[in-house]
């Protein structure tokens, strides 16, 4: 009943938004006359959105503009006996991505719309989003997230926009107009049906479209089964077709060479390209103009099969010369790499590709042949280098290196922070950089202030607007720097502290409801929320907590009075097959179980694991955070965007000099955050030295406590402790531990002086302007896509 009512309310809301909806449709038509940018987005981490679709507000940006309607809904609802807040909470996340990669795309869509760029986003309409994490006895379990159970009122099903996507089969030779051609005879066809999710810009009449594809059975290829009387098989095959868009792969940054995954990627790419080419052909008939009208952004390596697909369409279907087609492909594609780890760069086994997409494999071989010929002219006989740069990786399992395919074709290769670009240039893609330095750029990531301040922290939003005397910062976030002027103003301090307190209260209630742990509002709320990964070093955080606990246990009462009380909050999902990450979650729980009931500790230390971390949870947790932790070993986090959300919300950052944290320190001043740990250029030597345990006695002690079963589960944690054992401590927890504890102590000292802390907090928000996705998108528009804003003319 509740759900039904809820759905109705959102439908009413959509109706009231009709004005906007109409203009959306008009604008979508208009964009056809403009230069089209099609953001072919992310697969792995899904596409565009963990939370554009998660809208207790119609989009990231409209809520504010429509706040007057909000009140009217709330009134109308209460007359019907319903509480708006309660009903809105019924709507869950559309968790169509894994983590930072997908959420980044959501922020970028919001910025594209707000800045009036003519852009499209494409992705998959998974029926099951990222799994729900439930914790049983401290262990993670995964449950399916069937988010479409009660329908999705925000989307528009376009039954007439559908394309066949083909798989398998053979390639045959045909003679066409006296020329021999290769022709793909596919064996399976699945229909891709469009579901549109309009993304209205903030403070503009512009709206853009996020088109998500759902797989439906195609009648075309079933006919044979029906005519041969194989009725049962025909039905089974129809059902199989739908599985393509069924479920998001939950493994962050690792590709396991699964057939279904490859089919998802091609399904998404093929449908999107058919849509883009159809739109182009409606108005143009000469593919020479294609690069003038279309720019395609490949978001990480997951959709790079798009390069082979464009070549197949241009050569096999449009009958262009190979070299002409390649010239076009090289002009339309640019790529953003989001990873540092080599295992995140996808490699598709050749046998798999050859079976699912036989013609594409031939095309990739041809591209590689041309690449190798070109490289031989430049590199001569340097076979080591040639084999490293080859798109084909030889070995026990011969593979296609999707990243090399992208690098061979794309006119621009983007990193996501300045430091990340350095890593790409000097390590990951060194050979390519030496050859084509001009291709390599970086665009530091950003997040949208419309969701991360305006929607999720309305009190802060009001304070900023009041003190700046304008709401213009919501569209032009550079203005937020104006807060610096008031960083010492006692009136602002009072409002700021009050805002933080109210947000902490909300968070404390949430924690108590979920975990039954009562926390003190006077304590420092210290938060680390993100996917659980060894490189993100949640283990360092827990070992630091154990150290804190151990110190408190050994203190006398007078020492205890000087301890700054802490609530240590950790949240995040582990990929279902990632054993080490799952052990980290369990360790967090056993430590919490012991610490939270220890009478010697009381309110001085509480440990909380927030289950099922997702975008909704982030919206609640971030505004209530005093200190946030970003602990990746230097050189391992490409950018990180969580830190930007905390920064905007005035949380102080405790971070390594990694990814975008380096640039954050430049913007707000290193004195306003707590930096620690090895720098990126020190990491290789520290790994060589392999002295993790000897490096810090304190580290040895806390690891020993876990090993010896101080928190129980001795055997279970043995392998986890082994990962940081001397000589094996790849992520350098041991060598960074002492410096980590110093940074934590500095944070404690700063917190004691609440005026100083508040000033640092204001300066964090004031310095966050650069980390808006508006800036990132403007850089992409200018440097990679060559497009300009097209304001809706009425």
Residues interacting with ligand GPW, by CB under 6 A?
44-45, 98-101, 104, 252-253, 300, 338-339, 344, 416, 445, 637-641, 659
Catalytic annotation, pick one of 360, 645, 770, 775: 645
Alpha carbon distance 644, 771 (integer Å):
6
CA distances from 191 to 222, 353, 482, 591 (A): 12, 20, 52, 51
Provide the residue count of the chain: 794
Q: Which residues pair with 297 in a beta bridge?
A: 334
Catalytic one of 530, 537, 547, 583: 530
Task: Determine whether 300 is exposed, middle or buried from the number of CB atoms within 10 Å of its CB (0-12, 13-18, 19+).
Answer: buried
Residue 425: active-site member: no
Task: Select 127 or 423, whichever has its Cβ closest to ligand GPW.
Answer: 423
Strands (E), 128-246: 132-136, 139-143, 156-167, 170-176, 179-185, 188-200, 207-217
Measure the CA–CA gap between 737 and 745, rounded to whole angstroms: 12
Nearer CB in complex with ligand GPW: 650/659 = 659
Tell me how crowded residue 91 is: count the other CB atoms within 10 A of its CB: 22
Q: 739: which 2 tokens?
A: 């410096």
Closest CA to 405 of 386, 384, 418, 389: 389
Q: Determine phi and psi for 20, rounding to 5 degrees.
A: -65, -40
- The 8-class DSSP code of residue 728 comes to T
Asked if residues 646 and 638 have their Cβ atoms less than 8 Å apart, the reply is: no
- Residue 520, judged by CB atoms within 10 A of its CB (0-12, 13-18, 19+), counts as middle
Contacts 24+ apart (CB under 8 A), 591-596: 591/542, 591/545, 591/546, 591/549, 591/711, 592/517, 593/138, 593/711, 594/549, 594/710, 594/711, 595/545, 595/549, 596/517
Helix H or strand E segment including 528: strand 524-529
Taking the complex as a whole, how short is the minimal distance between the CB of residue 403 and ligand GPW, in angstroms?
10
Nearer to ligand GPW by C-beta: 301 or 765? 301
Q: How far is the CB of 656 from ligand GPW (least distance, A)?
A: 13
Burial (CB < 10 A; 0-12, 13-18, 19+), residue 672, is: buried
Shortest CB 344 distance to ligand GPW, Å: 3
CB of 101 or CB of 424, closer to ligand GPW: 101
CB of 100 to ligand GPW, least distance (A): 3
Question: Encoding tokens for residue 737?
Answer: 């531990």
Cβ contact 784:334 at 8 Å:
yes
Q: Quote the radius of gyration of the chain (alpha carbons, Å).
A: 27
| Residue number with CB closer to ligand GPW (108 or 625) | 108
Nearer to ligand GPW, 91 or 637 (CB): 637
Nearest approach, Cβ of 99 to ligand GPW (angstroms)?
A: 4
Are 134 and 143 in contact by the 8 Å Cβ rule? The answer is yes
3-state secondary structure of 203: coil
Contact status, residue 699 vs residue 733, Cβ threshold 8 Å: yes
DSSP β-ladder status, 399-401 and 347-349 = antiparallel
Q: How far is the CB of 759 from ligand GPW (least distance, A)?
A: 28
Active site residue 331: no
338 labelled catalytic: yes
Taking the least distance from each CB to ligand GPW, the nearer of 544 and 659 is 659
Q: Which residue of the set 641, 758, 765, 776 is catalytic?
A: 641
Q: In angstroms, what is the minimal distance from the CB of 336 to ligand GPW? A: 7
- 56 labelled catalytic: no
Q: Could you tell me the smallest distance in angstroms from the CB atom of residue 213 to ligand GPW?
A: 20
Q: Least separation, in Å, of the C-beta of 472 and ligand GPW?
A: 28
Distances (CA, A) of 502 to 120, 203, 488, 563, 603: 39, 29, 21, 24, 19
Task: Select 204 or 444, whichever has its Cβ closest to ligand GPW.
Answer: 444
Identify which of residues 193 and 527 has a Cβ nearer to ligand GPW in the complex: 527
Nearer to ligand GPW, 99 or 695 (CB): 99
Our CB check for ligand GPW shows the closer of 116 and 252 to be 252
Interatomic CA distance for residues 190 and 238, integer angstroms: 9
Q: Please list, residue by residue across 367-384, b when 16 or more beta carbons sit within 10 angstroms of its beta carbon and e when fewer do.
A: bbeebbeebeeebeeeee
Q: Which is the catalytic residue, given 302, 338, 420, 547?
A: 338
Catalytic positions are: 338, 530-531, 536, 641, 645
């Amino acid at each position: 009943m509740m759900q039904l009512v809820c759905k109705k309310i959102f439908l009413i809301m959509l109706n009231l938004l009709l004005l906007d909806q109409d203009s959306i449709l008009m604008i979508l038509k208009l964009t056809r006359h403009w230069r089209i940018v099609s953001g072919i987005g992310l697969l792995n981490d899904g596409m565009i959105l963990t939370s554009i679709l998660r809208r207790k507000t119609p989009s990231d940006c409209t809520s504010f503009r429509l706040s007057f309607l909000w009140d009217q809904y709330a009134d109308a609802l209460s007359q019907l006996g319903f509480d708006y807040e309660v009903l809105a909470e019924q709507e869950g996340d559309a968790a169509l991505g894994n983590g930072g990669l997908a959420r980044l795309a959501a922020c970028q869509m919001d910025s594209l719309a707000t800045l009036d760029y003519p852009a499209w986003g494409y992705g998959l309409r998974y029926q099951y989003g990222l799994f729900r994490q439930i914790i049983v006895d401290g262990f993670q379990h995964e449950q399916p997230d069937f988010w479409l159970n009660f329908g999705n009122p925000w989307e528009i099903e376009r039954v007439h926009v559908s394309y066949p996507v083909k798989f398998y089969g053979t390639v045959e030779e045909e003679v066409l107009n006296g020329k021999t051609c290769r022709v793909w005879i596919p064996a399976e066809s699945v229909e891709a049906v469009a579901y549109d999710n309009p993304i209205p810009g903030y403070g503009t009449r512009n709206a853009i479209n996020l088109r998500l594809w759902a797989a439906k059975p195609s009648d075309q290829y079933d006919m044979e089964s029906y005519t041969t009387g194989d009725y049962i098989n025909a039905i089974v095959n129809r059902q199989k077709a739908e599985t393509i868009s069924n479920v998001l792969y939950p493994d962050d940054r690792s590709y396991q060479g699964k057939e279904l995954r490859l089919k998802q990627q091609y399904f998404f790419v093929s449908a999107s390209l058919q849509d883009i080419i159809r739109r182009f052909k409606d108005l143009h008939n000469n593919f020479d103009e294609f690069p003038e009208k279309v720019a395609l952004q490949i978001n990480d390596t997951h959709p790079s099969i798009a390069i082979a697909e464009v070549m197949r369409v241009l050569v096999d279907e449009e009958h262009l010369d190979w070299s002409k087609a390649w010239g076009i492909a090289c002009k339309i594609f640019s790529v953003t790499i989001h990873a540092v780890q080599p295992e995140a760069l996808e490699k598709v086994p050749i046998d798999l590709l050859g079976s699912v997409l036989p013609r594409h494999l031939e095309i990739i071989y041809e591209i590689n042949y041309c690449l190798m010929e070109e490289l031989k002219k430049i590199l001569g006989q340097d076979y080591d280098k040639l084999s490293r740069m080859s798109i084909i990786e030889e070995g026990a399992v011969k593979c296609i290196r999707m990243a090399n395919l992208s690098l061979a074709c794309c006119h621009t290769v983007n990193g996501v922070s300045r430091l990340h670009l350095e890593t790409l240039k000097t390590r990951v893609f060194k050979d390519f950089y030496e050859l084509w330095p001009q291709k390599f750029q970086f665009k530091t990531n950003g997040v949208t202030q419309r969701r991360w301040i305006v929607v999720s922290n309305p009190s802060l939003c009001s304070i900023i607007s009041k003190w700046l005397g304008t709401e213009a910062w919501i569209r032009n976030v550079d203005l937020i720097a104006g807060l610096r002027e008031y960083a010492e103003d006692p009136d602002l301090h009072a409002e700021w502290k009050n805002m933080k307190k109210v947000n902490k209260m909300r968070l404390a209630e949430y924690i108590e409801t979920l975990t039954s742990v009562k926390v003190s509002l006077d304590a420092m709320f210290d938060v680390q929320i993100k996917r659980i990964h060894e490189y993100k070093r949640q283990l360092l955080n827990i070992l630091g907590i154990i150290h804190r606990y151990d110190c408190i246990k050994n203190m006398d009462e007078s020492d205890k009075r000087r301890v700054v009380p802490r609530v240590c909050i950790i949240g995040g999902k582990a990929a279902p097959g990632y054993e080490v990450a799952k052990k980290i979650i369990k360790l967090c729980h056993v430590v919490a179980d012991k610490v939270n009931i220890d009478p010697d500790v009381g309110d001085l230390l509480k440990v909380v694991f927030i289950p099922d971390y997702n975008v909704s949870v982030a919206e609640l947790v971030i505004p209530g955070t005093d200190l946030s932790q970003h602990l990746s070993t230097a050189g391992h986090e490409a950018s990180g965007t969580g830190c930007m959300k905390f920064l905007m919300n005035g949380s102080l950052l405790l971070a390594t000099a990694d990814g975008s944290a380096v640039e954050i320190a430049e913007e707000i001043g290193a004195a306003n955050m707590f930096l620690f740990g090895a720098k990126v250029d020190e990491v290789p030597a520290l790994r060589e030295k392999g002295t993790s345990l000897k490096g810090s006695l304190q580290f040895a002690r806390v690891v020993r406590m876990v090993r010896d079963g101080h928190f129980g589960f001795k055997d279970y944690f043995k392998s986890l402790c082994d990962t940081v054992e001397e000589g094996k401590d790849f992520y350098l927890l041991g060598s960074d531990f002492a410096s980590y504890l110093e940074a934590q102590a500095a944070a404690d000292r700063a917190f004691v002086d609440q005026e100083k802390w508040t000033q640092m907090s204001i300066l964090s928000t004031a310095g966050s302007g650069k980390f808006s996705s508006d800036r990132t998108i403007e850089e992409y528009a200018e440097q990679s896509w060559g497009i300009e804003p097209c304001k809706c003319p009425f």
